[in-house]
Chains A and B, each alone.
Chain A
Amino acid sequence: MNERFAEFFDRLPDLFGGHLLLSVPAILVGVLISVPLGVLCAKVSLVRGPTLTVASLFQTVPSIALLAIMVAIMGGTIGYRPAFIALLIYSVLPILRNTFTGIDEVDPAMREAARGVGMTPLQSLWRVELPLALPVILAGIRTATVWVVGITTLSTPVGAPSLGNYIFSGLQLRDWNQVYFGCIFAMALTVVLDQIVRLFEVSARRQKAWISVAAGIVLAAILGAGLTPKAGDIHRFAMGVFKGEATDLPAQAGDHDARAAEETGPLLDGQSFKIGAKGFTEQAIMGRLLKQQLARHGASAEVLGNMGSTILFDALRNGTIDMYVDYTGTIWATVMNREEPLERTAMFIQVSHHLLEEDGILTFGRLGFENAYCLAVRRKMARSKGYRSIRALTEIAGQLKLGGSPEFFGRPEWTRVRNAYDLKAMKTQGMDATFMYQAVRDKQVDVIAGFSTDGRIDAFNLTVLSDPAQAFPPYDAIILLSSQAAKNNALHRALSPLLNSIDAAKMRGANRMVDLDKKTPARAAATLLPPGP
């Protein structure tokens, strides 16, 4: 246990800093945009309607979708920038609305008094209306702060590190301590920032400037602490913005020279890579496996975990990440938009061909195992009723409840399985993949659409039903390389020992280590490393 907490704390400076440097600048820039806009809304009635409507509309986009949409809009760029823009959009409405309301509700007598003593409209705004509206504006900034710091946890799936990494990875690994750890720090940060803005508010209400000064110093100190380990990121971000370049410069560019001195180093000495991973256990392990294999050859690598499936693919296509492990069936359905099933090797070849032709992505090879969708039931039930294949479910479909991820129910595979075995009468319940194995074990559902390499199938005494109609397509695990990484021969040599080195049983064992034995994904990955470098 202590070892795990030590690991949480190790990541804290990076993740806390990342969180801080996403949320606070988003709020500050939000203030810079929203306050003038709010004033404009209060002063120019023509601007008011459209501006407030558009701002409200943005606010209604579910935050997790808005973050992903930003990635798509920015052509697959992941990391700081899409997350920052999405958070910025969220900070606008509360500040805008309160600025407008605050100015609008200034006593007309005050406005007339300002004119009466000889103020120009601008002087009236600056010396009378804004100071009087300040408490209301600050209340809006407080609301924005609470929202933005909370929503920042959702930037993990778009590849920007935040305290959400603890939460996503904790949920994925069913590691509640990690979830609590992330939540507590996110909550603490929210409370502290909220209180800082509250101090500005108190300062404005009571007309005591020293309170503002004190609050400003505290804020600067917190930002400074957050900035220290992440200074490089901000710098790279800024360079990227000003030069219009991608932000994925090698992180270790600084010590590249030093390393180049020892020419005789291993295959990938001094090189650095970005590895992507989706939001489930096997992917976390695959990310670490690639990293460990690269490390054996002297390369450093960063694993961007818990990323959305399509976000990951877009990031690989535009070179923001260098590699990740995907599955043939996933590419077949989501990238190639094909529905008809195909034999395993035939699909592998077609997928490889398509990715290379269309996107310049190299399908480096198969890892050896398949992580296909499968329908699984309690072993006891299967034994007592004699269920072996999915066909057995056809007759009793109306009495069964099927648990599965929301993604599964949206996939063509499900339609095909439903039609092939006439399962239309089956009730379905969407749930996080993490929970479905225990849901079927605890009889909350009767059948689950699980994954064939999940360690919990064995551990929870479940049986995979066979698929005689071949309705589920194959899901071969494949290593994908970006077009740039595809040209790196040394990288090919470093990765080749991984090919065809992991079978399904081995993968299930590794998954089980993490999901049930509470080992870290890195430890599980180490058991999968091929012998020799």
Chain B
Amino acid sequence: MSAGHDNALELREVSKTYDGGRTHAVDTLNLTAKKGELIVVLGGSGCGKTTTLKMINRLIEPTSGSIRIDGREVTRLNPVRLRRSIGYIFQGIGLFPHMTVAENVGITPRLMGWEASMISKRVDELLEMVHLPPDDYRDRKPSELSGGQRQRVGFARALAAEPSVVLMDEAFGALDPITRDRLQAEFREIQRDLHLTSLLVTHDMTEALLMADRIAVMNEGKIVQVGTPHELMSSPKNAYVEELIDTPKRQAGQLEQLAEEAS
């Protein structure tokens, strides 16, 4: 880790174009995250938020610009080793159905050649952390788990190799509201405890407002506004952001009214 850099994660003028430059998926994007910060990238479908995320661990190669983790340019690193050093939580979770919970969680350490005893210790530690008692869950198959339990395994897997950066792609999207609420809180706690620099991609403004240290609103491949939830609420930069903020605000008002009436 090079000390001179404040920013654990830094995207400078990053673009991704298709069709030889005619289509911009991501257009000269700038974004930074400090060590331990949770940034939510928010936007509608097709706005380029997932592409942005995948360029960080080079599942997609950027067309131009610079992406640095702890000051190191990712395009200069071996992509396989890079991905092992970054926790990645997939849209739709992406657990391997033919592996047990323990094998799923331990996969990256195993690829990195950890000793079996170390892996098994680490797996148990992580399962404890995500509230899945190892003795009960270690040997289960993903098909034997509920959606929320699978997502917990997904978290544990992303954290297994002690990454400093965690990327999350619609990580809570497929869960029912109660499970989602609980997991969001649990993840936030873990993230703060471990001081993990995190990037969460979502289209859900409420999720963004509740979880983020800072929110980056994206539209048509560009960042429209970056700011804390408070800043976004108080001073939306344009009509698009205002509209996005409006829905949770209105819903919150309606709920408050309902609660008052009930009491």
Q: Which residues of A contact B (CB under 8 A)?
A: 109-110, 112-120, 123, 127-128, 131-132, 207
Q: Is the CB of B83 within 8 A of A117?
A: yes
Q: Is the CB of B98 within 8 A of A109?
A: no
Q: Is the CB of A116 within 8 A of B94?
A: yes
- Nearest B residue (CB) for A114: B96
Number of A-B pairs, beta carbon distance below 8 Å? 52
Nearest CB on A from B126, distance (A): 14
Q: Is the CB of A110 within 8 A of B111?
A: no
Q: Is the CB of B59 within 8 A of A123?
A: no
Closest 4 CB pairs of A and B: A118-B84, A113-B94, A118-B83, A116-B88
A–B complex contacts, Cβ < 8 Å, 18 sampled: A110-B94, A112-B59, A113-B94, A114-B96, A115-B83, A116-B83, A117-B83, A117-B157, A118-B80, A118-B81, A118-B84, A118-B108, A118-B161, A119-B80, A119-B107, A123-B111, A128-B96, A132-B97
Complex interface residues of chain B between 164 and 204 (CB less than 8 A to chain A): none
Q: How far apart are the CA atoms of A112 and B141 in the complex, in Å?
A: 20
* Chain A residues, CB < 8 A from B80: 118-120
* Chain A residues, CB < 8 A from B84: 117-118
Q: How far apart are the CA atoms of A347 and B65 in the complex, in Å?
A: 91
Nearest CB on A from B206, distance (A): 26
Q: Is the CB of A117 within 8 A of B98?
A: no
Q: How far apart are the CA atoms of A132 and B88 in the complex, in Å?
A: 21
Q: Is the CB of B141 within 8 A of A207?
A: yes
* Chain A residues, CB < 8 A from B94: 109-110, 112-113, 116
Q: Is the CB of A117 within 8 A of B97?
A: no
Nearest CB on A from B111, distance (A): 5
State whether A113 and B96 are in contact (beta carbons under 8 Å apart), knowing that A118-B84, A120-B80, A207-B141 are contacts in the complex: yes
Q: How far apart are the CA atoms of A112 and B92 in the complex, in Å?
A: 12
A interface, over-half SS: helix
Interface presence of B219 (CB below 8 A) = no
Interface presence of B51 (CB below 8 A) = no
A interface footprint on B69-89 (CB within 8 Å = 1, 0 otherwise): 000000000001101110010
Q: How far apart are the CA atoms of A120 and B78 in the complex, in Å?
A: 11
The total of chain B residues at the interface (CB under 8 A) is 23
* Chain B residues, CB < 8 A from A115: 59, 83
- Nearest B residue (CB) for A131: B98
Q: Is the CB of A112 within 8 A of B98?
A: no
Q: How far apart are the CA atoms of A32 and B80 in the complex, in Å?
A: 30
Interface presence of B90 (CB below 8 A) = yes
Q: How far apart are the CA atoms of A109 and B112 in the complex, in Å?
A: 22
Nearest CB on A from B53, distance (A): 11
Interface presence of B57 (CB below 8 A) = yes
- Nearest A residue (CB) for B110: A127
Q: Which residues of B contact A (CB under 8 A)?
A: 57, 59, 80-81, 83-85, 88, 90-92, 94-98, 107-108, 111-112, 141, 157, 161
* Chain B residues, CB < 8 A from A131: 98
State whether A112 and B90 are in contact (beta carbons under 8 Å apart), knowing that A117-B108, A207-B141 are contacts in the complex: yes
Name the contact of B90 in the complex, choosing from A116, A120, A127, A207 (C-beta under 8 A).
A116
* Chain A residues, CB < 8 A from B83: 115-118
Q: Is the CB of A117 within 8 A of B141?
A: no
Q: Is the CB of A117 within 8 A of B59?
A: no
Q: How far apart are the CA atoms of A333 and B202 in the complex, in Å?
A: 83
Max chain B C-beta neighbours (<10 A), residue from A112, A116, A123: A116
Q: How far apart are the CA atoms of A120 and B81 in the complex, in Å?
A: 9
4 more CB-based (< 8 A) A-B contacts, given A117-B84, A128-B98: A112-B59, A116-B90, A118-B85, A207-B98
Q: Is the CB of A132 within 8 A of B111?
A: no
Nearest CB on B from A312, distance (A): 53
- Nearest A residue (CB) for B94: A113
Q: How far apart are the CA atoms of A456 and B112 in the complex, in Å?
A: 80
Q: How far apart are the CA atoms of A118 and B83 in the complex, in Å?
A: 5
Q: How far apart are the CA atoms of A498 and B62 in the complex, in Å?
A: 89
* Chain A residues, CB < 8 A from B92: 109
* Chain B residues, CB < 8 A from A116: 57, 59, 83, 88, 90, 94
Q: How far apart are the CA atoms of A120 and B113 in the complex, in Å?
A: 13
* Chain B residues, CB < 8 A from A123: 111
Q: Is the CB of B111 within 8 A of A119?
A: yes
Nearest CB on B from A294, distance (A): 61
Q: Is the CB of A132 within 8 A of B98?
A: yes
- Nearest B residue (CB) for A128: B96
Q: Is the CB of B111 within 8 A of A117?
A: yes
Q: How far apart are the CA atoms of A119 and B57 in the complex, in Å?
A: 13
* Chain A residues, CB < 8 A from B107: 117, 119, 127
* Chain B residues, CB < 8 A from A109: 90-92, 94
Q: How far apart are the CA atoms of A29 and B95 in the complex, in Å?
A: 34
Q: How far apart are the CA atoms of A113 and B104 in the complex, in Å?
A: 11
Q: How far apart are the CA atoms of A119 and B108 in the complex, in Å?
A: 8
- Nearest A residue (CB) for B160: A117
- Nearest A residue (CB) for B157: A117
* Chain B residues, CB < 8 A from A117: 83-84, 88, 107-108, 111, 157
* Chain B residues, CB < 8 A from A128: 96, 98
Q: Is the CB of A113 within 8 A of B59?
A: no
* Chain B residues, CB < 8 A from A114: 96
* Chain B residues, CB < 8 A from A112: 59, 90, 94
Q: How far apart are the CA atoms of A119 and B161 in the complex, in Å?
A: 13
